[in-house]
Structure 1
């Protein structure tokens, strides 16, 4: 990680494992909106502590406010045992989350990444659209001890 940046943005190449075990590629056409996410990451031994604070400027279809939530996982992870998510904040372009998440890691996880995705749950359905995502190398995070609170741009 370079000074002044919290992570690298990844969107169109990200693949999501579905419960059925099938994989689907999220194409650029499915990634809508933009915005920023404020977070911090602290290392406590072999545990990554992610604090998802807030977001600003999140927009979905037609530039509307979102019913947003954030999902996090250590990837690759074939059985999604490390997947966690925030509560959904309804109808806001600037949602406040203030939630903490613990990700225990082991030495063999150093080649993996902490994937953070921001989603918009569509009104009146269970369907969600990806707003954007970013990822952080576990090895880089372990070497830093702490990533202070910072804003990360979420792009589609």
Structure 2
């Protein structure tokens, strides 16, 4: 069907993020490892950080973020975050966004994102782990796309 047709060419441009998510009781343990190829080939470098939240969220309580890694298109984060899951979160999504912090304007621009259904994470029998494409905002809010390992 047409739902599966995410253009890989467009997807590859923003970069990839390596992460893992495991469940401990009703806590999602999210490890942000590293990213690569951020912002495609046109940009020489960027200062990036990763922000995570359970969406939609009205009160910014559920938002957490990594430190900013300066001057790298392949930043290494290795940070761990805990998201306790309340019942009302089960219909929501865990949204992972990667941002470039502009040096001069101090504003941030979205590089790409992905999201995981909270309910499906809670019922996982195995850990979610590996490289995932950074998708555009509209797409990333509703899905994730794993990078296929080349055999």
Q: Kindly state the Cα deviation for residue 60 of structure 1 after the two structures are TM-superposed.
A: 6.9
Partners of 1:69 and 1:120 within 8 A in 2: yes
RMSD of aligned residue pairs (Cα, Å): 1.8
Distance in 2 separating the partners of 1:83 and 1:107: 17
Q: Is residue 2:86 matched to residue 1:70?
A: no
2:95 alignment counterpart: 115
Distance change >3 Å, CA 132–CA 59, structure 1 → 2: same
Q: Kindly state the Cα deviation for residue 145 of structure 1 after the two structures are TM-superposed.
A: 4.7
TM-score by length of structure 1 reads 0.75
Mean Cα displacement is larger for which, 142-151 or 92-101?
142-151
Q: Cα deviation per residue 1:53-99 (whole Å; 9 max; x = unaligned)?
A: 00000027942311000000011110111100000000101000000
Q: Kindly state the Cα deviation for residue 36 of structure 1 after the two structures are TM-superposed.
A: 0.2
Q: Cα deviation per residue 1:133-153 (whole Å; 9 max; x = unaligned)?
A: 111000000010543430001
Partners of 1:40 and 1:50 within 8 A in 2: yes
Structure with bigger strand share is 1
2:76 alignment counterpart: 96
| Superposed counterparts of 1:1-156, under 5 Å | 34-59=14-39, 62-156=42-136
Distance in 2 separating the partners of 1:79 and 1:96: 29
SS in 2 for 1:90: coil
1:23 alignment counterpart: none
Structure with bigger helix share is 2
Distance in 1 separating the partners of 2:43 and 2:135: 14
Size of the alignment, in residue pairs? 125
Mean Cα displacement is larger for which, 100-109 or 132-141?
100-109
